[in-house]
Structure formats: C-alpha cells, structure tokens
Structure 1
C-alpha cells in the first residue's frame, strides 16, 4: 500500500490530510495514532476507496484506488480489502455463519463454498461454536472476532481496522489484541489499524505512525519492551 503526497480538503477548509506519503509493505502491521481531528479516519477512508484525495495518489495491491469509479471501488473493496469497525456492524437477523459468509456470497462464491470458508474461519478464530447463534446473544469480544472473520472471508490483501477495541471492555479488548497479533505474526496478514489503544499499538503493530494536524509527525518501528 502506498500513499504519495496525499492531501484531502473538505469545503475549502484546512486539510484533513496534508501531503502525506506512507508505504506499508506486505505482511506489515501499522498502527496509526493521533488526537481527534488529526486525519486518522480520513487516511483509512482513502485507503479503502471510501473517499478520494484532493491531491496525490493511493495505490493498494497494485491498483490505483484513487482512480476507481464508485462501482469499481466497491468491487475492489469487497475483493481486496477487509474492514473491521469499532461497532461490529453485524446483521442481527442473520446467524454468525451467515454474517461471516455474506461478503463471499456478494463476491459470487457459491453458497456451499462460502459457508465452508466462513465456518473454517470461525473455527480458526475460536468462535465456531457460535456459528448458528445470532450476534445479539454474544459478548462484544465474540462479536468483534466474528467481524474479523467476516473481513477475512474474501482473503483480502489488506485488513483495515478502525478502533477495533474502542467499544470493548478490558478483557474483550485483550482478546481482540491477541487475535490481531496472531493474524500478523502467524498468518502474515497486512494490517493498518487506527486506534487510541496504546496497548494495541505496542502489542500488535510492527510500526507506529503518528498524525498531527493531517501530517505525519512520527513513523517509527515498535521497540519491544525488555523485562528487567
């Protein structure tokens, strides 16, 4: 993923992002930190193709996302990007298994294959026993694990996580931190996460990018803490 001199302005005001250049290599996990209004969500939206830059280029998995029209951008996002949100966005009228399989079905995967792929992911992420349950009956940590499974079902090149522990209690947040760490270290999943959770950034990311007033103020590797 590469942003080159990317800026985004809204209604002629100050830039939400101001000439940001950023490269994320395959297999990297990057945490984007910064105060409210620093441009974190804008950056994520540009990478996902949910918004277009005022200037600069956005390239993901070899595709110029900033050049895609609305329909092609939606298809690219469905096929190549996994999205995890703070508030899960699961459909309460569908079972856990149906929620997880939905992106694959929308991508044209046969129903049986989509369900099999979803079931395998749920098992791998430790929530397979809830496959026939409905999301409203589950804990926040369990629902976020299911949201991650749904994001991974189309085998995305890039997983984008927007405050993935923000709505969770301490124990559930730790579950999600452990899951993202496993995906990064053991599965090699490329991840960009926007977070205020310093524990999440330090434990799951290999690199931290800090935004201030729409600019990159820091871009540095995470230094592992050594126990004395």
Structure 2
C-alpha cells in the first residue's frame, strides 16, 4: 500500500526533517508513527499524503509514484485514494454535517444523490446520524471527530491517515475515537496514525514505527494484535 525508498527532506536553514527513510506498509496494516516533537513524523505523513515532496527518494502509494505528480495530480490522487483525519477536524462550519461528509465525494464527480447516500450510511455507522442536519459547531469534540472520520471514508479510500486524531479531545471523547479507529481497521481499512499518545498506539496499531531525528529508530509489531492484522488484511483482500 505504501512504499518509501530513501526519502530525504530538508527545509531551509534547518536540519533534515527526514533522512533516507525507507518504509513499507502492507494493505490492511494499522501503523502508528510516534516520536518526540520535531522528529519528522508529521513530515513523513505529509509525504505519504502527497502534501510535500522529498528532496531525494521515492514515495509510492496505492500503486502510484506520488513524488512525481504535480500539485493538481497529487490532489486528484489524494481525493481518490487517501482519507485524512486531523487533530482540529477542519470541518466547514457553514455546511451541515451531511454536506461536510458528502462534499469530497461530490468533488470527485460522484452524483449528489449518491454522495449523500454514502454520507448518511457512514454517519449512521459511526453513530452521529442524528446530527446530519446540524452544523459542526453544535457538536462535541468527539462527535466532530466522528464526522471527520466519516468525511475521510466517503470516497472509500485505500488508505486512511490520521494526524493526532485524539490530540484536541477530552479523555472520554479520545477513548471513543480510539474505539472507532479500531473498528475501522477491523473492517479492513489500512491506517497510518501520527500520535504522541502511547495508549492510542498500543490500542489501535498493529505496528509502531518510532521516528527520531528524521530516521526510523524502531519498528515494532504488536504480537497481541496479530489476529486483528490478519483479519483486516483478509478483509482488504476480499
């Protein structure tokens, strides 16, 4: 699903954010990227999302070399193959919950009726269908993150990326989102999560990759989650 080979990224007047990083993520895996602030984990996520380009190395996602795409091509690939969940939700406050979720599908050319049907199904599955006609500002943090996950999944992406998805939530809402990510992965979704929360990595991921000073310092598979990995990979293959 994801293949990085020798990826290096350096910003002006600073040390390399990534230093010859090579990483493979299989279809159906749930990978947590962890490390101290400034370690390069968010830069790595941006590379996978096609939001940034390496100075050296290659980035392949869902069979496409995204490091060779222009800005428009990367955006099209992102809409079609990647769902993204952010720490601060990034929902559009002037749209209803239903319209927020349906919008990415409409942007890819899906007919409005079909986009809204998918959106309603996801909102129902994620337990927030009762809020479909409300605006995001009326929802709790946990509810808004559930809406954000629905929006990320509406185009049925091959890969779901989450950047500190519990970072802006209280502990109860954070636990709800952890459970939600476990459910999404158990259904076969390939998942990469950037997090400072060891509990999130332990509960949601089948593998933890630790980034330090722009390099992979450790890559650990969680034996306790082996059954989940196998089930998710099998589900993705079907």
Using structure 2 for the length normalisation, give the TM-score. Answer: 0.93
Relative to its length, the structure with more helix (as a share) is 2
Residue 54 (structure 1) aligned with residue 68 (structure 2): no
**1:209 aligned residue:** 209
Residue 154 (structure 1) aligned with residue 155 (structure 2): yes
**2:194 aligned residue:** 194
**1:224 aligned residue:** 224
Give the Cα separation in 2 of the matches to 1:83 and 1:184: 14
Shift of 1:169: 0.2
Give the Cα separation in 2 of the matches to 1:61 and 1:173: 29
**1:36 aligned residue:** 37
Give 1:67-146 correspondences, 5 Å limit: 67-146=68-147
RMSD: 1.0
Partner SS, residue 203 of structure 1: helix
Shift of 1:133: 0.9
Partner SS, residue 171 of structure 1: helix
Give the Cα separation in 1 of the matches to 2:208 and 2:223: 10
Q: Which runs of 5+ in 1 are unaligned?
A: none
Give the Cα separation in 1 of the matches to 2:33 and 2:218: 10
Tell me the number of residue pairs that the alignment of Structure 1 and Structure 2 aligns: 224
Partner SS, residue 16 of structure 1: strand
Give the Cα separation in 2 of the matches to 1:155 and 1:69: 23
Partner SS, residue 156 of structure 1: coil
Residue 7 (structure 1) aligned with residue 26 (structure 2): no
Give the Cα separation in 2 of the matches to 1:13 and 1:122: 43
Shift of 1:60: 0.2
Q: Which moved more, 1:7-16 or 1:33-42?
A: 7-16
Residue 21 (structure 1) aligned with residue 22 (structure 2): yes
Shift of 1:14: 1.6
Shift of 1:222: 1.9
Give the Cα separation in 2 of the matches to 1:100 and 1:110: 14
Give the Cα separation in 1 of the matches to 2:126 and 2:68: 35
CA offsets 1:1-36 (integer angstroms, 9 cap, x no match): 011111101115321000111000000000000001
CA offsets 1:159-213 (integer angstroms, 9 cap, x no match): 000000000000000000000000111x110000000011110000000000000
Using structure 1 for the length normalisation, give the TM-score. Answer: 0.97
